[in-house]
A and B are shown apart, each in its own frame.
Chain A
Amino acid sequence: MIVSAHPLGLEGSYPLLFLIWLLPLAGALLLWAFGPRFKSFAGPIGSTMVGVAFLATLAEWHDATAISGGLAGAHQTLFTWMPGFTFGLLFDRLALIWTLVITGVGFLIHVYSMGYLAGDKAFARFFAYLNFFIFAMLTLVLSDNFGGLLVGWGLVGLASYFLIGFWFFKPTAVAAARKAFVINVVGDIGILFAIVVIVAHVGSISYGDTFLQIGAFSPHDLFIVCLALFIGCAAKSAQVPLHTWLPDAMEGPTPVSALIHAATMVTAGVYLIARCAPLWTASADARELVGVIGAVTAIAGAVLGVAQWDIKRILAYSTMSQIGYMIMAVGVGAFDSGVLHFLTHACFKAQLFLGAGIIIHNLNNEQDVRLMGGLRKTMPFAFIAMLTGVLAICGVPGFSGSFSKDAILTATLAHGHPWLYAIGVLTAGITAYYMFRLLFVVFFGPYRGNVDPSDLGIRHPELAGTAASSGHHPEETDAHHAHAPAWLMSGPVAILIVPTVLIGWIAFGGEGSPWKTFWDPVFPKVSEAGGFVMPELAGTVLVFAVVLVGFALAYLQYAAPKVLARSVPRLRTESVRMPPVLANAYYFDAAIDALFVRPSILLGRFFGSFVDPLVIEGVVHETAHTASWLGHLFRSFQTGLVRVYALSIVLGAACFAIYYVVIGAAR
């Protein structure tokens, strides 16, 4: 039903859009309020909500793509706070892609969770949180204004907090949740400040009004807005230097890591930059900054991925690195490449995490790869799944990741950033190295699960990363650990193999590919000087060559036959000789602790225990003492002696007398 035109698209009322948006919220509230009564029925309820939302999204496809020209689509106004603060929903192509991933991959992960968390005492609560997350993420991508975006931003941070700290009796999970939330709030205030500046210049929080009036911003102010928005992106998408929460977020259950910290929430920063493409197109400084940080994050994450022993942390750093690619892409103006990588990454990263989850689940919560090995024979399905994921993430031609990665790299070069291109290519090699390392250490060679941990160089088995610490405590599972049917977990993984391998082909065909045609009228074109357009084939070959180098190095180090025979002592040597810089993640955590956390607490103690009771209250006490002293002074006049009182009467009378005498003399 079309009512009127609007800068954001076709104004109207879209009941299906409401359904997509609010059904997960209904599910969350239902499961939160009545969860314990549903018991294991909560899983199907939560999954159905998201599944129906996915189907509704498919039904709304037409409305989203009806307009071709800018970021515009189906638009529905909700309510207005006051002039300039109008909230509504926007369902355009960008929102469509994100919503498909959120609800589609979300649905698969809901189903998977029914198997992974079967028997957990807080089963229903998990699905309530998961549904709430879907609702929050949809709020983020469906809003037509910065205010609604920020609300969604904050709510996904909240959902992430709930889910990371799901097993809240574990101190490490509690600390990780708090860390993730506080860093997220740092991002929130960045976006808040951007909104403030935007309202001051444009008078409205709506995307449409802002993008129409870019001329109202001076270049300096535009950069400030982009910078503030990027602080939010960096916090949410784990870009340097606000990335330290992501590895710790692996404390949450594996489906959470798959959905939130791989496929959807961490890509919110990419969404934001793509959404604000007009702003970025207008500010070269912002593009430079974002591109550099994206590239730095990509390579930093990759290097750290080499140094990890926890399977989830390896994947976490790889996520950080891949998102670095996406940020780099949308930063330099290659918006469709970045979004393509988001799409492929969502599939193959979810695939990798869910596959890892199968391994973790079957090995009774073992997460340290040193204690795995040879699982190719015992878990062939997991091997196939992880193999496809690894091939995709490395960018092996033909698999989905290669299309998107190559697109990003060629676009970066075409937009005039040769250094970023070089970093990206190098990172691709490192990615291949550590992902194949993961594959080889986990699936090849002898099974090391029965080896004494110290023989493998594991110094503190009770810390995160081994079965002794992670995962289920006796407190949180029911006595009869119900084993859910295996297809609940392997089904979604099997389904994901298809897009992991194939989805990249929608970008096949260069400028004429379906992907390019879909996005062509949408994003503003960025024109940069000094761009070098590398032929597509040459680019692919170059990247593949680097990938092969990485693969070869990994093979020689971890999978060559003579190496496999000595896997235990070799792993021990490697554990022991891991450089501390890498083992402590470049000391970022220590730096943040020393620069922000400790001084804040010390300042707080100084204020609360010294300044307040002694200095400020000291002044108050002094005032009270002065009053009391005055009282004592006046009290000293009350001697009780009649003669003194008589004297004071006389003195008073004498004063009067003298006064009148003087007055009289003056007349």
Chain B
Amino acid sequence: MIVTALVLGPILIGLALYALPKSAEAFARGAGIVVAMLAALGVIVFPHASDASVHWLSRPFDAAFHFGYGPFSYWIVLLLSLVTLSALTALRVPRVRDFTAQMLLLLGAMDGVFLAKDLFLFALFWDLMLLPVFLIMLGWGSPSHGPAGGRGTAAWRYLIYNLAGGLCLLLATAAFGVVHGSTDVIGDPHAGVAIGEVWGAWIFAGFAFAFLVKTPVFPFHTWMPDTYTELPPPAVAVVAAVQSKAGLYGFIVIGLPFLGAQMHDAQLLMFVLGIAGLLYGAFAALAQTDVKRIVAYSSLSHLGLMVLGIFSFDPTALKGVLVYIVAHGLFNGALFLSLGYLEAREETRSLTRLGGLGATNPRLAGALIIAVLAGLGLPGLAGFAGELLIITGLYHGGFVVPSLFALIPIVIAAAYMLRLYQTAMNGPQRLDLPQRKDLTWIEGLALVPLVAGLVLLGVNPAPLLTSNGTETVSVVSSLR
């Protein structure tokens, strides 16, 4: 029941919030923070909870209502709860009640994606988690006179692009269910799934398209910069930190165990796409002037590295991917929240207009520098641990050239992250910027779980690396 409560609880409470009057802002915000905290506590306190499977569909395939943890999903769900907690604590937005409700729906839906042990349930929640993001973008994005049409265009592009992926996912799931007989297979090492050649290729294509669009991987990434730019900071922190991992998670828990042969066949293509995204994202980030777009493109670069790690089929690389998933979530969350603080104060996101804020806002500068350093993979912080393990795995698996390619974005990341930080915080003070207060206690507190996670995992990511539970064993052994 606990795990199912993690999924349904936030959804129901989010819907229930609409019953409150619009003016109960503090209560709504508090309720959201409490729910996120309870979600995090639930994951920490009951790490071995597992729920029973409730059969609910018989034709055309067996499906069950089944939620539970796996070694990957456990950490991702914990990450999700923490990032949501930080996001809700961090910033004020207009129409708090509605916003908190949507964020809770998002939390519940994403919990559903990662906790689903039934493939059909996975597909349903996959589509479900798009809706709150879409609504948030329409309701809280920037006005419609942006360069690409503003929030409306970005929102529709996000929704339709990802729904196209979701459609392929649904078709692939249905095909899987028909061929195998049951979709209650995720995380079950005894599922005994054997998908034939012909069906397997199409099913994999469907899954792959959905996961590639969602992550996103080059060249299906064009929805991302506009989406990240238009979403308000708390939402983009959650989306960038966690929703982008849904595709990678899918490859790991669905692709590796059940579609291993197809994954091997697709390895070359995925390597090409991964390296392309790695380099493309890094270079593109170098030339942006909108601070959120810089982080968006850097995200593309980092996600490319994770794709390389997954498709190298090396156990070390896969462990590195898990560490990097969590690390990337933490530092992307911290970055977008810090940039959100910046934007809320200076009312601009453009590097051409920012400058010299470190002198008057030292605490904000401190928060931003920590996020920036984690983003560029400073040794000692979590991002580095992930990168080290992934590249070690790549080389160990025999992929020397990709491992060399993976080194280049690290240098470029240093350049664009420092450009971001220094242009905003260093240099002479710009007199045309509004002088606002420095970081408040609450805002700093919101960043604490993220920063603490980055430092602790950077020093010792052992909790993520020690394999416990049969699922990792089956996933890793299926790599042979």
Contact = CB atoms under 8 A, between A and B. Distances in A.
A617 interface: yes
B287 A195 contact: no
Nearest to B404: A193
B395 A196 contact: yes
A178 to B, nearest CB: 5
A158 interface: yes
Contact of B358 (A151, A168, A603): A168
Contacts of B316: 82, 199
Interface string B403-438: 110011011101100110010011111000000000
Contact of A82 (B288, B319, B425): B319
A192 B462 contact: no
Contacts of A603: 283, 286
Contact of B287 (A81, A147, A196, A608): A608
A188 B395 CA distance: 17
A371 B464 CA distance: 61
Given A169-B426, A171-B427, A616-B222, A151 B380 contact: yes
B272 interface: no
Interface stretch (A179-187, A376-384, A398-406, A507-515): A179-187
Nearest to B379: A154
A97 interface: no
Nearest to A189: B407
Given A154-B379, A169-B428, A199-B396, A178 B286 contact: no
Contacts of A177: 422
Interface residues of B, number: 60
A391 B410 CA distance: 43
A475 B419 CA distance: 23
B415 A182 contact: yes
A373 interface: no
Interface string A407-444: 00000000000000000000000000000000000000
B225 A612 contact: yes
A607 B465 contact: no
Contacts of B358: 168
B391 A196 contact: yes
B465 A82 contact: yes
Given A81-B461, A181-B418, A153 B395 contact: no
A197 B400 CA distance: 9
Contacts of A193: 391, 403-404, 407
A192 B411 contact: no
A155 B395 contact: no
Contacts of A155: 378-380
B392 A195 contact: yes
Contact of A617 (B222, B387, B408, B429): B222
Contact of A185 (B319, B396, B410, B429): B410
Interface in A134-170: 147, 150-155, 158, 161, 165, 168-169
A620 B285 CA distance: 21
A174 B426 contact: yes
Interface in A552-609: 600-601, 603-605, 607-609
Nearest to A150: B379
B356 A607 contact: no
Nearest to A184: B414
B34 interface: no
B359 A475 contact: yes
A450 interface: no
Contact of A169 (B356, B410, B461): B356
Which of the listed residues B288, B415, B462 has the most CB atoms from chain A within 10 Å of its own CB? B415
Q: From DSSP, what is the main secondary structure of chain B's interface residues?
A: helix
A189 B410 contact: yes
B379 A612 contact: no
Contacts of A601: 286-287
Interface string B347-379: 000000000101100000000000001001011
B284 A80 contact: no
Contacts of A152: 379
A242 to B, nearest CB: 12
A484 to B, nearest CB: 24
A651 interface: no
Contacts of B287: 601, 604-605, 607-609
B378 A154 contact: yes
Contacts of B359: 168-169, 475
B297 interface: yes
Given A81-B465, A604-B286, A197 B395 contact: yes
Contacts of B403: 193, 196
B384 A154 contact: yes
B280 interface: yes
A139 to B, nearest CB: 8
Contacts of B293: 608
A196 B462 contact: no
A200 B389 CA distance: 11
A213 to B, nearest CB: 16
A619 B220 CA distance: 10
B462 A80 contact: yes
Given A182-B415, A608-B288, A153 B379 contact: yes
B392 A196 contact: yes
A603 B427 CA distance: 26
A169 to B, nearest CB: 5
B219 interface: yes
Which of the listed residues A161, A171, A603, A609 has the most CB atoms from chain B within 10 Å of its own CB? A603
Contacts of B205: none
Contacts of B202: none
Contacts of B373: 158
Interface string B156-188: 010011000000000000000000000000000
Contacts of B124: none
Contacts of A81: 385, 460-462, 465
Contacts of B388: 147, 150, 192, 195-196
B466 interface: yes
B377 to A, nearest CB: 9
B437 to A, nearest CB: 16
Contacts of A154: 378-380, 384
Nearest to A33: B366
Nearest to B221: A616
Which of the listed residues B225, B287, B425 has the most CB atoms from chain A within 10 Å of its own CB? B287
Contacts of B396: 196, 199-200
A608 B279 CA distance: 12
A239 B249 CA distance: 44
Nearest to A173: B426
A604 B385 contact: no
B384 A178 contact: no
A79 interface: yes
Contacts of A620: 157, 161, 222-223
A600 B418 contact: no
B427 A168 contact: yes
Contact of B411 (A150, A185, A604): A185
B219 A616 contact: yes
Contact of A600 (B219, B391, B412, B465): B412
A151 B418 contact: no
Given A617-B222, A620-B161, A168 B426 contact: yes
Contacts of B462: 79-82
20 contacts: A81-B462, A152-B379, A168-B358, A168-B425, A178-B418, A178-B422, A185-B411, A185-B414, A188-B410, A189-B408, A192-B388, A195-B388, A196-B391, A200-B396, A604-B283, A604-B287, A605-B287, A613-B222, A616-B219, A624-B160
Given A154-B384, A608-B288, 6 more contacts: A79-B460, A165-B422, A193-B404, A199-B395, A200-B395, A604-B283
Interface of B: 148, 157, 160-161, 219, 221-223, 225, 280, 283-288, 293, 297, 316, 319, 356, 358-359, 373, 376, 378-380, 384-385, 387-388, 391-392, 394-396, 403-404, 407-408, 410-412, 414-415, 418-419, 422, 425-429, 459-462, 465-466
Going nearest first, the 9 A-B pairs with the smallest beta carbon separation are A604-B287, A154-B379, A604-B286, A185-B414, A607-B284, A608-B284, A168-B426, A151-B379, A189-B407
